[in-house]
A and B are shown apart, each in its own frame.
Chain A
């Protein structure tokens, strides 16, 4: 890690205190791309916590970013509660079938036991191993899918969104059981030494209305955030897709950092909620990180920094969502290099000058 003067843990600590740092924190959200660093197939991660950990640690060492997130896909908790997941040989898994198909089956669902059900034990093993290996120098987080999103995998998204209008009580019943599962899993993640990192993809206004987010998403997220805070950790909340109308409600969950998609705007987020939360984002994962050139990555990073370097609660330069598996290493390097080049303190005039030129 000779490229940077500080370790990620040192960098975050100084940044929190408002002390000098070497550069802004930077997190290209590496998920299954880690398989490419070790030269293994994505499907080898299934049921193999050690390999997930080793790949994630190798990816961190290769690129030198600031947070390791143990993550393969969003379905782990739903799978442990009965959803069927399809595992292609060398691509990210996807939902094959929900656990149930009708509201009257919700009562048959049980919160998963993270030490026994599905792939949860393997993910906990990965978290523990990664934390043991590098937890002193870099924050290691464990992906925790939000209750509403897990609910969508348990009963099917179309089913769930129809029920939000037709049978709200059933949606709450389903979110509650998904929440109970998430709560136990969050506790188990904390026991490994890692911090849960919340993602609630289906809560975006790309899918549901702000009113529905406040009714079915936010209350359950808030309870999870409160629980994690009770264990002395800070929490990042990521919601994919459009979030402009729900930024305040996201901040009201109590999350310390909001990670936003490129479908939302960092500058607008800064104005709306920047006094309460740190912001993380939002280089486009597909159009720029996967399909762009290193020069385009650099441009996108500079655009993010220009918009939110002065966010009152701070900025983490990040991709807008988990990176696609085949994201070129050169683009991930370019993201870190762009942040190193900008350095700290950020010279806003220089960023603007180049924009004008």
Chain B
């Protein structure tokens, strides 16, 4: 990798961490114009920047507003670089179906998890919020997902998480998916009780959990 290319990747990463959407877009266009491999620019530039932002979030130097603006910058760059990915590079990714359980419309936590998983190379099917249990099952089967990620902030909707797992059993597809849960009222003991495969307390932790559950390198 030439030092000029490395400088560009560093600049891309910095512009994501610096929450600079316009600059990320310009640098991504520059990468395309210079014929730099799109996948490498995404991984060493945009994703590297988003991972740095995730670390700053974990150490409480960044908070939700900063993380969201970093992700805006990352997505602006992705919009430009993704069309230049080679076909096969788009194929091999694990799919994750994610959503907020029915009865709740708090979705910031879910969105942060989605952003960090997307930055880590997973393909996300975002169902949105207020999602009935059966839809998680249907969409996961349809998408041939590896993971189902359930989020809630309200205790009233926690039963909905258990119901998703029961429905998976009923449809005889439980073993096809890893089910992870998270959100304010959720704990590891709750995850154990309802038979989920994992619990994570925050977005960066959710990425580690997913990688561990489906056995891909961190």
Contacts and interface: CB of A to CB of B under 8 A. Distances in A.
Given A166-B69, A241-B184, 11 more contacts: A91-B103, A94-B105, A157-B106, A158-B68, A161-B68, A165-B69, A207-B64, A286-B186, A287-B185, A287-B190, A325-B156
Nearest to B159: A326
B51 interface: no
A94 B64 contact: no
B19 A165 contact: yes
A221 to B, nearest CB: 18
B39 interface: no
16 contacts: A92-B156, A157-B106, A158-B68, A161-B65, A165-B65, A166-B69, A205-B63, A207-B108, A208-B65, A212-B65, A245-B60, A286-B187, A287-B185, A287-B189, A324-B155, A325-B155
A209 interface: yes
Nearest to B63: A209
Contacts of A286: 155, 158, 184-187, 190
Interface in A1-16: none
Nearest to A159: B68
A285 interface: yes
A291 B190 contact: yes
Contact of A88 (B60, B72, B103): B103
Contacts of A96: 105
Interface SS majority for chain A:
mixed
Interface string B53-96: 00000001011111011001000000000000000000000000
B111 interface: yes
Nearest to A211: B63
A293 interface: no
A205 B60 contact: yes
B65 A157 contact: no
Contacts of B65: 161-162, 164-165, 208-209, 212
A37 interface: no
A58 interface: no
A285 B155 contact: yes
B161 to A, nearest CB: 13
Interface in A63-103: 86, 88, 91-92, 94-96
A287 B186 CA distance: 8
A203 B187 CA distance: 23
Interface in A224-257: 241, 245
What band does the interface of chain B fall in when counting residues whose beta carbon is under 8 Å from A?
20 to 34
A324 B63 contact: no
Contact of B108 (A157, A165, A245): A157
Interface in A129-182: 157-158, 161-162, 164-166
Nearest to B193: A291
The 4 closest A-B CB pairs, nearest first, are A286-B185, A324-B155, A161-B65, A209-B63
Contacts of A205: 60, 63
Contacts of A158: 68, 107-108, 111
A181 B97 CA distance: 40
A325 B187 CA distance: 18
A241 B105 CA distance: 18
A242 to B, nearest CB: 8
A209 B64 CA distance: 8
A324 B185 contact: yes
B75 to A, nearest CB: 13
A282 to B, nearest CB: 14
Most buried by B among A161, A164, A166: A161
A158 B65 CA distance: 8
A212 B19 CA distance: 16
Most buried by A among B60, B65, B66, B104: B65
